[in-house]
Structure 1
Amino acid sequence: MATTTSPQDTPKPPLPKASRWRVLKARVSTATRLLLSKLGQNGPQWLIAFLALATGVVQIGPQFVQMRQAVLNILAQGADGISGLADLAAFPHVIIGIGLILMVPGLLLRARVAWVLGVLLSALSAGLALWAAHGGINATVALSGLLLLALLLYTSRFARSSLAASSLFALLGVGSLLIYGTLGSLWFGAGYTPPIRSLPTAFYYTIETMSTVGYGDIVPHTVQARMFTVSMIVVGISVFATTLSVVIGPLIGGSLKRTLEGKMQREQRKNHYVIIGASSLAYAMWKELSSRGVPVTIIAPSGHPSPFPETADVITADATRSETLELAGVPKAKAVLTLRDDDAENAFAVLAVKELAPGVKTIAGVNDVRHVNKIRRVQPDVLFAPQLLGSQLLARDLFDEPIDNSTVHKLLFPET
């Protein structure tokens, strides 16, 4: 019995070496262009984030042993564990290093707050490293200088408002202030009544002073202790106020902005066109109307990707609900175009529009020519049937029949 082999089952001959080389070369070239494009878009912030991470690690590394010993001495002996200023010298390096490392996610997100803190911390890092090296150049100075230079060169790339970066800023500010207050209270502990001798007491007094509660159970009686307390109050109020403005401000501002923009858009939605749908035809129609300077509002279905840009006036909701149509300004619209991919959904949308605003012109798109008569039953003002247009124009061209503007209009918009 003879068997037949379909074309799909026939094995394809292998490509010649020259063809395989061209295919490989094309793929490598495409991958290289894509990589270069990604590097051009995201390379600077990745480089800056890497420099921040490296600078933070270099700042912390050499001071880790000294800081660890100082912390152990303070935990074990309280104020007596601080034998001199050298025991506290490691903390600024570590705080700056931790701050730079915490800024890495914000820099990758191109957050403006992370950029500001990065500039401040890199400048402090360079200055502290120069002071420690007695004016010499070492790895910390070089990395800090490179980081500061890169941040200043790519300022325009960091323009986003990031809640995550703002939270890191708040964490860094409050943490640094707690360390400053606790260690300073221990250092000037003898100038208080009763004296501050232990780490828990120093931490308690720091919280009490920064919050401006002031129970009066611990009172400074020397000039040094009083000046340090004043510095804690001033810095504490400044840090908490800045933290509230940075973290809570964008949340309140964003909500207020969305509310005002929504109200302004609702007031401006009149004498406009409403497009229902997110199909390719709906996008093409929006683009054409927008190019003519005509105001357009789109009602896009939820759960589907939207082809429209962020600048478009898009409402994502059910187009058959009266609340959605009211929000889109359908009663004040010049016309409503139902251009969804499903003809049944277009028919339901026409019915909803006619129920809410009978005087508004409705144009119903038809995706399947077999549904033309069915959609006629919902009585849209105009039927938009591109398939009929294409077939009848082609037939007229084949039979050399004349085609003018009135003919095209009749074919494109057959009256119901």
Structure 2
Amino acid sequence: MNITAKLHKAELKPPVVVVSPNTYQAGGKHVGGKYMPPNPNQIDWVTTGGLVVDNTSTGDYLIQGQNLQFFGDTGTLDRMINFAASNNRLLFIDGCNLRAKDHIVYGSQGAARIRFRNTNIFRLPTAVTDEANMRVCDKDGLTWASFENCYLEGGGGFRVGGVANGYYRCTANRAVSLDGRRTNATKKPVQLQLFQVAGGSNLDMLSEWNDSYNHPDNSRVEDNQNFYHGTYASGLVRFNRVDGAYMNPRALYDLNGDGYAGGGLINEGSDNLRIEDNFVVRCSNYGVAIAGGTNSALRRNRVVNGIHYREGVNQGKIIIDVGKALYSLGGSGNVVQDNKLASMYFPPANKTKPEAQWAYQQRNDWDVDQTKNTATGNTFLSAPNTYSTSNGGYFITKADEDACLDAWEALRASNNVLVGPKA
């Protein structure tokens, strides 16, 4: 069974503006360019000017097979592509290698369409005070968006500001170390995700087979995926894998302003959204969640959160405030069904004590308001609730977490899904 949904065709409407660095002009008029396999060692276009995609053309825009590097500027960050079109034009970025400090594509409110496919995106370090690397795509008003088989490293991913009847796809992308940290380490990181849909009504949205890995030393992520205050005609988040979401140092996050930092997959106030069959490990806040959402579901997800850093400079040390594997709070009419969960944390009263003196742990598997929501068939990793030296001290081991990751990999292979850019 092929469980990867087919994408709607995004036909390029003539006259097509084909973007090439050799004939750059203001207003986004270009000629040339053809597909070539990714080659990050070849740089065709190094610029500080940026590209403007506007309403000059009545056709669509194609950037294909290009290796582009964008330095931003000397004072404040800027975007590689200013997507200012509002006449429902399509910007199609295909088979490219892109390097930039700030947004790759950014645009204000305006009806438009965008597609990223088979593209590598690398974030360049910035020295601008208090700033952070930003998103690959950040545009409100998109009526159609598809992000397919891309590789992202550093910064944030794809954000679409939802509109009525919007169509959105995020499929088979690989993200490494999503990072919203600012150059000023005392400032709260920027809230970045691999994929966010912010608002909108009657949406048709699918997120599947995306693979996020966040190294504890090199990343700070709000949520790996966030679905914020939208209503869905069809909304499905499935078969995604998340490995790591860290919000330490804890003092930088105000729970009143950002209670979801360091999370996996969340329905934040949305209606009729299904989060199903995902695999999540090592999140310092939550694994899968509904926060204020309604008439939605969390089904058959696997979440395993240990309490130790498994790698990096703090390897072996405790992650303070490891969150719940699953929660559904503040909403109603939701179904929480057949999830497999395991999460542990140390009680707050013991935080100041040396690790050797901590005599026990507490389960932190889930929190579901069953007066307003339905919960059935959920199970928890069988393990002791108390500290035990006979099993190495902590019942959720790296092997437990790795088993969850490996189960996703086996499912991906059995369905012949390729994640990341295709050759």
Normalising TM by the smaller chain, what interval?
Answer: under 0.3
Give the structure with the higher percent strand.
2
Question: Larger Rg: 1 or 2?
Answer: 1
Structure 2 length normalisation: TM-score?
A: 0.21
Give the structure with the higher percent helix.
1
